Amino acid sequence: MLTQTLRRLEDTGLVDRTVYLAVPLHVEYALTDLGRSGAVPLRLLRSWVEENIDSTTGVPGWREAGLSVVE
């Protein structure tokens, strides 16, 4: 699942994949400029969620299940 997600991110231009031919095989992923440009809108969305989480219905029972907003 992780590999599929990383490949999709690579296909969409959000991450670069570098393969190092060594034993064992070594692969590194890094955000592209496009991927880094998403950080600002994602931070804004996170702030909005944190400010409004108490006024939204969200998923029924999420608080009772012990779930919380991740810091």
- For the question of whether the overall pTM of this predicted structure is more than 0.75, the answer is no
Asked whether 18 and 30 are in contact (CB, 8 A), the reply is yes
Domain with residues 2-55, CATH architecture: Orthogonal Bundle (1.10)
For residue 52, the model assigns a pLDDT of 80
Asked whether 15 and 29 are in contact (CB, 8 A), the reply is yes
Phi/psi at 40 (5° precision)? -65, -50
For residue 30, the model assigns a pLDDT of 97
Distance CA 6, CA 28 (A): 11
The per-residue pLDDT for range 16-71, each reduced to its tens digit, is 999 999 999 999 999 999 999 999 999 999 998 888 877 766 666 666 766 666 65
For residue 45, the model assigns a pLDDT of 93
DSSP 59: S
Distance CA 37, CA 41 (A): 8
